[in-house]
Each structure stands twice: as structure tokens, then as C-alpha cells.
Amino acid sequence: MKKYLFINVIALTMIGCGGGGGGGDSKTTPASSTAAASSTPLSSSAAASSVGPAAWSLIWSDDFDGTIVDATKWSFEKNCYGGGNNELQCYTDRADNAFLVDGKLHIVAKKETFAGQAKGDDDPAYLATDTSQTREYTSARLRSKSKGDWTYGRMEISAKLPKGQGLWPAIWMLPTEWKYGGWPSSGEIDIMEAVNSGGAVYGNKVHGTLHYGTPWTHEGTSYTPATNVWDEFHTYAIEWEAGEIRWYVDNIHYMTQTSVAWFTNGSTNDTAPFDEKFHMLLNVAVGGGWPGAPDSTSVFPQEMVVDYVHVYSCGADPVTGKGCASHVDSAIKVTPAAVVPSGTLSGTFTIYDNAVNPIWDNGISKWDNSSNVIVTSEVDSGDVVRGKVINIKYGATNGVAYIQSSTVKDATAFSTGGNLQFDVKVLSYGTATGLLIKADCVYPCTSGDIAVPGGKVADGVWETITVPIATLVTGGLNLSKLNTPFVIFPTMDKQAGVELQVDNIKWVK
């Protein structure tokens, strides 16, 4: 859930157990089933027979049977930060946004103007009394941090989800101590996410995902339950053991990931980063980079209703979590290792979207013959959906602004059907007659200077520019040793007074 801005989002899903899809209220220990034989080798756990109910021991739970949210189990995040995803809501601790009724937790997203904290709760600059950020929606985000933290086990949640454009409910986990570094180095486990449920694109899908790196990498898939997730309760679960995580919906196993694929730059341990304590989060976001903003079809209030949260320890081996795999579908193949984008770029990748993708580790740079006339900065666009953008001021001396990596990438997959795409807004043209772009393959290897289509974009408005990668190749770009995927500059010898902003820079395949 946390950040989807650097690379295109992959749809994902989750698992469930102990109730069955269809709105049951039962809050039970997971039942077992025996995995069918398979001629295809799976993980060691998945290949073994499933175990009986006694293998799983309930160690933490909330059945929401009280009158208020249990403060010994949950804390409220209170901020209007936007979740790192350009989200549009303020998270509050008000009963309007989270309350208990009839043994269920209701997390309610409302359309209303609210002012709150501009920084996230864990930001050193967070100020509880801050009301400098105003949003047009409110919601709630609960977390079990330091009140429920686990390494390995079965996490099972029964929930009914909101419906509509711009709604983004999530049941997920973050590291409690961030031992391997900041996000995504210490990992993120998305048990369940859904976006724009009931709409034409995502329909009834739910998604499960792992995030790790750096460079930031995410792997997951989606699953479509038999009945609507907004009409009925479904159980979403993961079974997490050393080196392996399995996802389920209503006891249907739909994805397995193992440490063969995941990694972190913060440790050489085979099972890192998913070998430390994680805590759980429950929230409903509004808007953001994945679902987009609500529209005229969106109806508020919307809510995620949670029947229960159960966490189990594996009785067979509580230390590693191994030996308790249940409801295993032998047809589910282990998700293969991701292509790490530090060397080979085979699919759409982001260069800048609210921040520089860390695979371009030299960041936002400039060349102006050491005259220091070019000034680059990241600024708030004033648009809550767009978020931060790159602002570039040029001067009397010729120069360029660019984003670059310290290592070369192989982008030959983009030779056919690939495009460089970005948004640009010109604040002032000065005396320039147009804009140019290029890409470099360890200078002086370059695509050459290429005028943006039309040569000049309109003043003061955002425009999306698309340039075929084939055009860059024709100009001389060697895709097998790409290190600078984006360079932008005004007409040479006419750069004084030019100021522009760029955003959503990516190569699309």
C-alpha cells in the first residue's frame, strides 16, 4: 500500500480462511485440507501435506466485540500527508471515521473538508497540533505497531470492502523496526488491496503483493472471488514462514512467493527482509496514484467493515513457521524471481513520479559548464493528485537537466514498441523557440538532440509528450548501455529566462 510511485503498479491479491466467502460471521481456527499430488516441484512446505487445525495456535486477535476500538491493540495514524501515494484523505482518530457496531470494525471514508498534519506520523518533523494541510476527504488508518508485531505465522482477516472509483482499501504489513533500512529495503507485505471495486477495469479483483529492494521491486497477482467483495465478507490471509509466503482468499490458495525471488540491499541473509517483526495496518485510502481520484460516479460515505483479525503461530515450529501449510493448491507455481531493474529493463519503468526512482541513483542532475546558472528543485505542484514535480530554471549559459544512474542498464527490450513519456508545463519560455530532449548511453554515446513533437508546448498548462524509443535509437542511442534515460533543455543559445516543470517521466513498453 505504502508507495507505488516509482514503478508501474502490478495488480495483486490476498487470501482467506476460517469462514468461507459469503459473509459468514464465524471466527474459527483454520481448517485443514490435503494438497493434491503434483508432478511439478513446489516449495518444501507446499509440497508437504497440509496439517490439522491443532497446528495453528491463536496468539493475537481482535473480534471487535467491545464498544470502542481497543487501544491496547491498535493506534490511529493522524495526518493529511497523503500516504506517500498522492492520496486525497486526512486520516483521523474520530469516531466518524472508525467505530465498532455489532462486533465489527467500520472504517469510513467521507467526503468533507478537514485540516490536519502535513507530515506522516513517523516523520521527525511531525507535529500533532499541525493543521496546515487541508483535504476534501477523511478516513482512518489503524496499525498494531508495538501492540501486535510478529515474525511468521498465519494472518487472517474477514472483511467487506468499499465500492467505487477512487476507493483503495488495504490490509497490509510493515516492518516494526526497519532493520534493513527505509522503504522498501525492509519490505512490505500486502495481504489484500482493492482499487475502484465494481468498476470496469478492476471489477471484483483483490490483490496481494510483496515490496522489497532496493532497487524497489514488487511482485504479486490478483484474484477474483466468487461473490462481490463489497456485498459480502471474505477472508483474506497469508501464511508466512521462513523463506516463503502464501496468499489465500476464502481458503483458496492463489499465490506463493519465496526468498528465491525477494531480496534487500540491507542484508545478505537469504530470508531477508521478510525475517523480522512486522505489524498490521487497516485503512481505506481515497485517491492516489493507483486508483486515481473519485469522480461523479463515486458515492460517499464508503466503508471497509472488518469482522475479525486473527494471528496464528505454527505449532509445528513457531521459530520458523514451517510445517503448518494449509489449503495448499499444488497447481500454484512459486512466483519466479523478478527481473531486477538495476541491470535489465524489460517492462515499463518510472524515472520520476513524485520522487526519483532509486534505480536512477544519481538523481536529478544538471550540466551547465560549471556556471551554476541552472537551478533544479522538487516543488509542490499545488495539485494534490500530481504531488511533487521537478522545477528547472535555465540561465544565460547553455545547459541541460537530466536524471541518471551510476550504472548502465540494458533497455534493448524497448527497441520495438517502446516510448519515452513525460508531462511538461512551461512557466516561461524567455527567448527560447522550443524544447528538446535526448537520452545518453554513457556520454558521448547519445541519441542526439530531438525536438519535442511540435517543437514547442503551450505556456502554463500540463501537456503529455510521447517520443518513440526508435527515434532515440535512430539518433544514435545504444539501448544496451543506457545510463541517462531523460535529458531536457530549451533551444541552445536562447535559454535565459526559461523555467519549466516536468513530472510522470517514464519509459513505456
Among 113, 173, 159, CA closest to 138: 113
CA 449 vs CA 49, 118, 339, 440: distances in Å? 62, 41, 31, 10
Cell numbers linked to 409: 542498464
List per-block mean pLDDT (blocks of 10 residues) for the chain, which spans 509 residues: 38 31 39 31 35 75 97 98 90 98 98 96 94 97 98 98 97 97 93 96 95 82 96 98 97 95 90 98 94 94 98 96 93 70 80 90 82 86 82 91 90 93 93 92 85 82 93 92 94 91 94
H, E, C per residue of 233-288: CEEEEEEEECCEEEEEECCEEEEEEECCCCCECCCCCCCCCCCCCEEEEEEEEEEC
Taking Cα atoms as reference points, which of 158, 233, 166, 211 lies closest to residue 12? 211
Which cell numbers hold the place of 364? 536529478
CA distance linking residue 377 with residue 388, whole number of Å: 10
String of DSSP letters for 104-171: EEEEEEEEEEEEE-SS-TTSTT--TT---EEEEEEE-EEE-TTTSEESSEEEEEEEE---STTEEEEE
Nearest in space to 211 (alpha carbons), one of 410, 503, 5, 507: 5
Dump the DSSP string for 383-441.
Answer: -TTT-EEEEEE--SS--EEEEE-SS-BB-GGGTTT-EEEEEEEEEE-TT---EEEEEES
- Those residues whose C-beta lies under 8 Å from the C-beta of residue 322, and which sit 6 or more positions away, are 44, 45, 241, 242, 314, 316
Cα 411 from Cα 485, distance rounded (Å): 10
* Burial bucket for residue 24 (CB in 10 Å: 0-12, 13-18, 19+): middle
Say which CATH architecture domain 44-314 belongs to: Sandwich (2.60)
Alpha carbon distance, N-terminus to C-terminus of the chain: 24
Q: What pLDDT is attached to residue 49? A: 30
Q: What is the pTM of this model?
A: 0.64
Q: Are 491 and 436 in contact (CB under 8 A)?
A: yes
Extents of the domains making up the chain? 44-314, 349-508
Strand 375-380 and strand 484-490: the pairing is unpaired
Strand 98-101 and strand 153-160: the pairing is unpaired
pLDDT at 333: 83
Q: Give CA 209 to chain center in angstroms.
A: 9
Please tell me the distance from the alpha carbon of residue 499 to that of residue 393, in angstroms, as a whole number: 4
Question: Which candidate, 276, 287, 266, places its Cα nearest to that of 84?
Answer: 287
Q: What pLDDT does residue 14 have?
A: 30
Domains 44-314 and 349-508 in one fold: yes
What residue has cell string 510493515?
Answer: 174
> In CATH, what class is 349-508?
mainly beta
Return d(Cα 249, Cα 223) in angstroms, integer.
8
| Residues annotated as catalytic (active site), given as ranges | 188, 193
Phi, psi of 46 (to 5 degrees): -65, -30
pLDDT at position 362 is: 85
E-assigned strand segments in 287-405: 302-314, 349-352, 363-367, 375-380, 388-393, 400-404
- Per-residue model confidence (pLDDT) at position 271: 96
Sequence length of the chain is: 509
